[in-house]
Amino acid sequence: MNIPNILSVFRIALIPIFGYVYLNAQEQPWFYVAALILLLSGITDFLDGVIARKFNMITQLGKILDPLADKLTQAAACIMLGIRNPEFWVILALFIIKEIIMLLAGLKIYRRDKELEGSKWFGKLYTVVFYIIMLMIIGFPNLKTQLVFSLLVIMAVFMLFAFFMYIPVFLKLNKKKD
């Protein structure tokens, strides 16, 4: 297992720690700690990609682990936010539905022995937007509800943009003949 894959496993290991800290946070410093854990996850996400590309450490395992760590982290953040703020479940449900569809499409391609491609620029853009918005919402839980809702709508727009941009990529991969 190479360094980028170890970083992906580390990100997965951070998920329950983040969830515990965030769900049990009662005072502002603990919300900062939860946000810092999420930030650490985002930084290691960035680093694993840079290291994999720069040192030619891209592997099929990494092409599975990295997006898995991304999606598990994002799903956990959304679920935790929904637990603390039930009024946002509609927007958070969009994320979950989109991720289930992408997971099923990716599994279908993988099962047909197609080589998986790395993430695209639009997926990376969405991930950056996701982390920025979630860090704001999680780190500052006293933001006005309307501001939080607006931030989640912005996140949903970027998420849907990435989703629709991935459709032709999945269709092309699905049609590839080996």
Q: What is the pLDDT of residue 115?
A: 66
- Token representation of residue 117: 């491609």
CA angle 96, 93, 107 (to 5 degrees): 20
DSSP per residue, 81-137: HHHH-GGGHHHHHHHHHHHHHHHHHHHHHHHTTPPPP---HHHHHHHHHHHHHHHHH
CATH number where 44 lies: 1.20.120.1760
Q: What is the pLDDT of residue 69?
A: 93
**Mean pLDDT rounded to a whole number for the chain:** 90
Mean pLDDT for the stretch of residues 48-55: 94
Residue 25 has pLDDT above 60, yes or no: yes
Mean pLDDT for the stretch of residues 60-89: 89
Q: Is the Cβ–Cβ distance between 32 and 18 less than 8 Å?
A: no
Q: What is the pLDDT of residue 113?
A: 67
**Per the structure, how many domains does the chain have?**
1
Q: Is the Cβ–Cβ distance between 122 and 166 less than 8 Å?
A: yes
pTM of the model: 0.87
Predicted confidence band of residue 45 (pLDDT cuts 50, 70, 90)? very high
% of residues, the chain, pLDDT over 90: 59
Residue (of 116, 137, 127) closest to 161 by Cα position: 127
Residue 117 has pLDDT above 80, yes or no: no
Q: What is the pLDDT of residue 41?
A: 97
Mean pLDDT for the stretch of residues 156-177: 86
CA angle 166, 86, 81 (to 5 degrees): 60
Mean pLDDT for the stretch of residues 113-131: 83
Domain that holds residue 108: 3-175
Q: What is the pLDDT of residue 90?
A: 80
Q: What is the pLDDT of residue 98?
A: 86
Q: What is the pLDDT of residue 112?
A: 75
